[in-house]
């Protein structure tokens, strides 16, 4: 019993077979494990210790600690309101989810754009802390996570039975990923806080790779599969929408990132994969770094034929009905980002 078992209710999948060309069987089983995890949970652990040295994210955490320890007026020098309303620092409780202030502070970075214009939402420039080494170390992490994004996307395409041509088509929607990197500082959530460290939400895009500090029971994932015999759960009520289920802890595992799929995967798979609600109840004081590998800003995301073949039960023939309208990722993102800040506080609300 105990928290380890809770963690293990989400599968642990090793990406090593996709790091070389020499393991076709390993790739097959990795892809099918990811496929099952996406069908069942929308969440899994990805073992990446053969891809990224564990000391790298630890360095990032130290740099984050240095920045967040600065006086508020120093941090305000890179406030998101000074830029495009999205890129930069957001103070404690400035982010809002489901109408309630989130008990965290954060810096958001996005893919740089060709002709920055800070009067357009999302279209400005990243604001980097002056903490020595911050920009270099974080930029190196972005490069790593972008590469990992493409690798996991290919594994997922294989798991869905996409042809090589179909994978090329999907790849072309994510090869200029409009990625987001957040550096989040969580102070301990007080008992009387009306809300969460981060309220229940789905991620917006494609794949989230979360490097998490060791604080346990912080990230909680909504599980609709409550019948698992071994599944230790926190029987907490679910307060958003019509969703029913139980919250399970996704505690960090050494050498792994926590991966979850965003809403664009629901569209691509015609609802076969569900993007899962999650929230954060952080009782400690620490730093977490989610990297969001997202589609290209102008990607037209539409139901994939491979998903419709799977749904019809005839992998070579018939296709199921289309249940999702297509979405331009950047338009979807703009709406989401517009709702992320308290009324009157955001620049473009
Ligand atoms: N790009 C992502 N996923 N950022 C984190 C989203 C946190 C929830 C957000 N405040 C909301 O209300 O949607
Ligand atoms: O900090 C975490 O554990 C998760 C944060 C998260 O869900 C998000 O930023 O989208
Ligand atoms: Fe999230």
User: How would DSSP label each residue in 59-95?
Assistant: HHHHHHHHHHTS-HHHHGGGBGGGTTSSSEEE-TTTB
> Which CATH number is 12-341's, of 3.40.50.12500, 2.60.120.330, 3.60.70.12, 3.40.50.2000?
2.60.120.330
In the chain, the percentage of residues whose pLDDT exceeds 90 is 83
Pick the residue whose CA is nearest to atom 3 on ligand 1.
203
Inform me whether the pLDDT recorded for 298 exceeds 70.
yes
pLDDT at position 224: 76
Q: What is the pLDDT of residues 193-233, one digit of tens each?
A: 999 999 999 999 999 999 999 999 999 999 875 443 333 34
- DSSP 8-state secondary structure symbol assigned to residue 200: E
Q: What mean pLDDT is predicted for residues 267-282? A: 96
Ligand 2 pocket by Cβ (under 6 Å)? 182, 184, 198, 203, 210, 212, 218-219, 278, 280, 288, 290
Asked whether 204 lines ligand 1 (CB < 6 A), one says yes
Beta bridge partners of 46: 13, 257
Q: Are 297 and 236 in contact (CB under 8 A)?
A: no
Q: What is the pTM of this model?
A: 0.93
Pick the residue whose CA is nearest to atom 9 on ligand 1.
97
Q: Which atom of ligand 2 is found nearest the CA of 260?
A: 7
pLDDT at position 3: 37
In this prediction the ipTM stands at: 0.97
pLDDT at position 243: 56
Which of 2-11, 69-78, 285-294, 309-318 comes out lowest in average pLDDT? Answer: 2-11
Q: Identify the helix (H) or strand (E) that includes residue 101.
A: strand 100-101
Q: What mean pLDDT is predicted for residues 84-109? A: 97
Could you tell me which residues come within 8 angstroms of residue 321 by beta carbon, excluding any fewer than 6 positions away?
Answer: 308
Asked whether 340 lines ligand 1 (CB < 6 A), one says yes
């Amino acid at each position: 019993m105990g928290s380890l078992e809770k963690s293990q209710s989400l599968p642990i999948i090793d990406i090593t077979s996709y790091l070389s060309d020499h393991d076709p069987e390993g790739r097959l089983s990795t892809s099918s494990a990811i496929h099952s995890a996406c069908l069942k949970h929308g969440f899994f652990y990805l073992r990446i210790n053969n891809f990224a040295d564990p000391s790298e994210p630890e360095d990032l955490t130290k740099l984050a600690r240095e920045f967040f320890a600065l006086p508020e007026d120093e941090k305000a020098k890179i406030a998101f309101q000074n830029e495009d309303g999205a890129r930069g620092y957001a103070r404690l409780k400035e982010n809002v989810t489901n109408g309630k202030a989130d008990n965290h502070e954060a810096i958001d970075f996005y893919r740089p754009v060709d002709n920055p214009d800070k009067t357009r939402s999302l279209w400005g420039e990243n604001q980097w802390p002056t903490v020595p080494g911050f920009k270099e170390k974080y930029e190196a992490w972005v490069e790593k996570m972008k590469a990992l994004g493409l690798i996991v996307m290919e594994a997922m395409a294989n798991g869905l039975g996409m042809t090589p041509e179909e994978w090329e088509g999907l790849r072309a929607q994510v090869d200029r990923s409009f990625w987001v990197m957040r550096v989040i500082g969580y102070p301990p959530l007080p008992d009387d806080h009306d809300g969460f460290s981060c309220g229940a939400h789905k991620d917006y895009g494609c794949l989230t790779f979360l490097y998490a500090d060791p604080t346990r029971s912080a990230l909680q994932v909504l599980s609709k599969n409550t019948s698992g015999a071994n599944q230790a759960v926190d029987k907490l009520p679910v307060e958003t929408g019509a969703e029913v289920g139980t919250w399970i802890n996704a505690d960090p595992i050494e050498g792994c990132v926590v991966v979850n799929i965003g809403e664009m995967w629901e569209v691509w798979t015609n609802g076969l994969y569900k993007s899962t609600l999650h929230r954060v109840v952080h009782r400690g004081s620490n730093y977490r770094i989610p990297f969001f590998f997202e589609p290209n800003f102008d990607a037209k995301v539409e139901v994939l034929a491979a998903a419709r073949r799977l749904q019809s039960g005839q992998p070579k023939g018939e296709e199921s009905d289309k249940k999702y309208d297509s979405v331009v990722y950047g338009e979807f993102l703009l709406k989401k980002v517009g709702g992320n800040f308290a009324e009157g506080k955001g620049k473009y609300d």
